[in-house]
Chains A and B, each alone.
Chain A
Amino acid sequence: MSNHVIDASKWVDRYSDYLYNYTIVRVNDHEVAQDLISETFLAGLKSAKNFKGEASERTWLISILKRKVIDHYRKVNSNKGKAEVRMQYNSEDSDGDWIAERVSDPFDKTAEDTIENDELADAIHECLDLLPEKQAAIFKMKTIDNFDTEAICNVYNITPSNLWVIIHRARTSLTGCLKNNWL
């Protein structure tokens, strides 16, 4: 029995940030990430009739995106890609002994830290999904995009007191959710 239905008109508002975080971790390029998400949504739209509703829309879109990411790396590692030697300095300041620079991690970040942080990002997004749409959007604007209180109030036509109430509710729900799943 189908439990989930497709509503493509809401995809950008509902899933673009989640898919963007998922992609940026894997391709490390904002433009490529945006292109891949665009391709994912279009592919999703084309194959919407194949959606059985057994998984959620987001899970289904992620499965399409995964294939797009793999295709992207296949393209990069094609014969043309392999012919190029891709080495970049870690920062503009670094020059000269670059092999040594690449061996030592300047931020002392281990692979485990990175994986843990990626998993944490996933957990936060899962919890954000449980919030009412407006609450999640305002929390993202305030916490992730660092918008001013005034700017958010203007966008949503709310007072600063309303904004802080919404932020408080969002933070309380997120803390509760993450306490169960992460903290």
Chain B
Amino acid sequence: MIQLLKKYSIDCDTNAHFCDKIQYNEATPKEIAQYKMHVFICKLCKTHSALNTELSKACSRARLTTMPKTAKDDLKAKLEKEMNN
């Protein structure tokens, strides 16, 4: 059991990386399991992951949008033309 835990244990940097991947649903099941195991024993990572998750929630709650790329390109062209006149 201890050997199994050692085999799947990760350091805090790797855990932070997995935590980021989880926010974007890009972590593998193995990474999620390793992350959960690490967060269970590491208080520092638990705090970091809570804040990281809160940031994701805040971003979705704020309903952020960006201007479409085509509109940005059009606008850039228009501004450039105006600046050259």
Contacts and interface: CB of A to CB of B under 8 A. Distances in A.
Interface centre among B61, B62, B80 (most CB of A within 10 A): B62
Interface stretch (B3-11, B16-24, B38-46): B16-24
9 contacts: A12-B75, A13-B72, A20-B66, A142-B24, A144-B64, A171-B55, A174-B55, A178-B55, A183-B51
Grouping DSSP codes into helix (H, G, I), strand (E, B) and loop, the A interface class, with mixed when no group exceeds half, is helix
A42 to B, nearest CB: 6
B16 A183 contact: no
Given A174-B55, A175-B51, A16 B72 contact: yes
Interface residues of B, number: 31
B67 A171 contact: no
A124 B65 contact: no
B77 to A, nearest CB: 10
Nearest to A31: B71
Interface string B55-85: 1101101111111100110011011101100
A17 interface: yes
